[in-house]
Chain A
Amino acid sequence: MPSRRPPFLWLLDKECRELIVSRSWWVLLLGMGPLVGVSFISAVHTYAEVSGLNGTSAGVGEALSPLTGVWAPTFSACELAAVFLLPFVAIRLVAGDRQSGALKLELQQGTSSFARITAKALVLTAGWLIAMLPPLSSILLWKGYGGSVYPPELATLAMGHVLNAGLTIGLAAAMSALTEHPSTAAILTLAVTVGTWIVNFFGAIQGGWWERAAGYTPAAMVAEFQHGLARLDTTLAALVLIAAGLALAAIWMRLGVGVQRRVYESAAVGVVAAAAILACTLLTPSWDASESRANSFSRPDERVLRRIHAPLSIEVHLAPEDPRRLDLEHHALSKLRRIMPNLQVRYISSTSIGLFEQTRAGYGEIWYDLGGRRAMSRVTSAEGVLEEIYSLAGVTPPAENDETIFRGHPLAAPANGAGVIFYAVWPGLVLVSGILARRRFK
């Protein structure tokens, strides 16, 4: 009598077992403890020093936001693990079937390859969520020290790292299915990751399209989430890339389909994914989930800016590597784009570093054009930019309101117990669980 359990549940069960017996997953779990421990302990230590521990002078403001001071560095362990450890777990799970010959048996069942790769992706995501337990447990420790926790920014940060892991899984799955051997898949996966770093590098020094493309690399995406910013375009672009990677994997897992047809199907996936990503880039909604509103102007400023409907264009004569351009972009223009989606920004420079352009007339100028009225300024601070816009629009700047300023959450507490948990308890737990689980599932 045939089994009543649907084939998909059998696949999930099989993939869970394969994950549990996979050494690479246990290594990932084991490594997460010390990685998070180092990051968390040093972040808490620095945070305490800035807050006035051991007689140091207390700081104020954004430096004492737990998001940037503690959570971003603590969760950066996830980024490292997603780049250097997770690909091997994913490759083992996807390529293992082909290597062992199990794929030839399973393909004869008739379940679609898309269902098969979905089962693998779901189990890998679950495996990644378990690997994220150490950084999540650091939240409890922080609360225990008396630290402040703002759930929306933490949820945004965690979502960024889950999306980043999803990208790694999609990429590794595609490479595993495309190549004959897992080691080739590993090399190609790391090569693509390094490729995105190169795009980031070129984006930083060349500007233009490189800079635009760099905004959609995993590292840039994670950086935004680390600042508590959830952008719809990057989130959807990441989801499209994950789906494209898994679709490619599904296409190339169908050993019985001719190579030429698989190539055509892959090209179609590529075209559809590129079109979808292009469409995603046109979406402008974003959410600043940070408690410090690090990605937004103050609420009164935003209210005034929303009332300005004339088209605004800004021409910036600064080179990509000029620190003033970075200041302007991060502290003013990125916030302005969120409020004024139709803002046009043009960067103009003849060189990438700008060092030899300083003497050129016009270098360093920032030209504002609001509905035909033009003004020039050289100020790159957020206050300076807002002042110019208000002046051109002929609106009164909002009155300064101290209550809206984020004062931070200073905490001068040592990271008691964190070392024991991340260097001893977690690795011990992983080792014991690993031995027991591998015995149970073999």
Chain B
Amino acid sequence: MLFEVNGLSKRFGQIAALSDVSFHVRPGELLGLIGPNGAGKSTLFECLAGVMPSDTGAIRAGGRALRSRERSSILFYVPDGIAPWPAQAVGWALDFTVGFLRGRADLRDEVVDQLALAPLLDQPIGTLSKGQRKRALLGIGLLTHQPALLIDEPFDGLDLRQARDIAAALRAHAARGRTLFLSIHQISDAARFCDRFILLSGGRVCGEGTVTELAALAAAHDNSKTYDNLEEVFLALT
């Protein structure tokens, strides 16, 4: 187990964004965080990365709770919908990731190639389209050195071909032992890509496991049915 999350909660005033969220993450797995819009996926990632304070709960690794600062040794989070350093070129952002974020210089060319970033290297990030920006952000994330990479909506804004290519790139990184924890609201995308899933709805974890394990869980809830795809499982459990 790479790390586990125990009893994580977060409230925004009267609204409970996360309630007693607990799950575990294994090394080298492709873990999907699925849930409808507003389920608390981004909030969960931000709390895990320590860029948003949680009210209660802990992240444990190596048998002990990690302080907020220590989390950067095991995980890195790539938010959705940001345009960091908008006036700077993509190439500079990748160099900054390698330099400041202590990323992997040896992967730079490979990541540029995998994400087709070469034509964008001299372009300011603020001038990129949504899909191009997403690729640049994924590039930043893939260059970081942490064993777990949390990506919020990795396929959002990408066309079919790009989504396929990027899925292949992410798989290649996962095959080398990197844990990818992806927040995906399109369940069909998640089903195609991930090994294991965490179902989040209304800020609560409704299930955790492979499709088979989740289908069994759903069946246990409702003995009269059998489930053979993730969408049905999701609907049954949330």
Question: Which A residues lie at the B interface, using CB under 8 A?
Answer: 1-3, 5, 7, 10-11, 14, 17-18, 21-22, 97, 100-110, 255-259, 441-442
Contact = CB atoms under 8 A, between A and B. Distances in A.
Contacts of B76: 108
A22 B69 CA distance: 31
B83 interface: yes
By Cβ-Cβ distance, the 5 closest A-B pairs, closest first, are A101-B82, A102-B84, A10-B100, A3-B99, A21-B87
Interface string B68-104: 1100100011110111111111001000101111111
9 contacts: A7-B100, A14-B96, A100-B82, A100-B86, A104-B77, A108-B49, A108-B77, A255-B53, A256-B49
A100 B145 contact: no
Contact of A3 (B51, B79, B102): B102
Nearest to B123: A442
B101 A18 contact: no
A110 B72 CA distance: 7
B95 to A, nearest CB: 9
A143 B102 CA distance: 51
A442 B77 contact: no
A108 B124 contact: no
Given A21-B87, A100-B84, A100-B85, A108 B140 contact: no
Nearest to B106: A1
A322 to B, nearest CB: 55
Interface string B41-57: 00000100111110000
B105 interface: yes
A106 B52 CA distance: 13
For chain B, which range describes its interface: under 10, 10 to 19, 20 to 34, or 35 or more residues? 35 or more
A21 B52 CA distance: 29
Contacts of B49: 104, 108, 256
Nearest to A106: B100
Contacts of A7: 99-100, 102
Given A256-B50, A442-B89, A2 B105 contact: yes
B117 to A, nearest CB: 17
Contact of A108 (B51, B88, B92, B126): B51
B152 to A, nearest CB: 10
B70 to A, nearest CB: 9
A11 B51 CA distance: 19
Nearest to B87: A21
Nearest to B95: A3
Contacts of B69: 110
A413 B101 CA distance: 58
A2 B106 CA distance: 9
A291 B49 CA distance: 59
Contacts of B81: 101
Contact of B83 (A5, A14, A101): A101
Contacts of A14: 85, 88, 96, 100
Contacts of A107: 50-51
Contact of A10 (B51, B87, B99): B99
Contact of A257 (B53, B86, B89): B53
Contacts of A100: 82-86, 126
Contacts of B104: 1-2
A256 B105 contact: no
A1 B51 contact: no
B99 A442 contact: no
B126 to A, nearest CB: 8
Tell which of B72, B101, B104 has the most Cβ of chain A within 10 Å.
B101
Interface in B9-49: 46, 49
Contacts of B145: 2
Given A14-B85, A442-B124, A256 B51 contact: yes
Contacts of B50: 107-108, 256
Contacts of A5: 99
A256 B68 CA distance: 8
A102 B82 contact: yes
Tell which of B81, B89, B100 has the most Cβ of chain A within 10 Å.
B100
Given A101-B83, A108-B76, A255 B101 contact: no
Contacts of A442: 87-89, 124
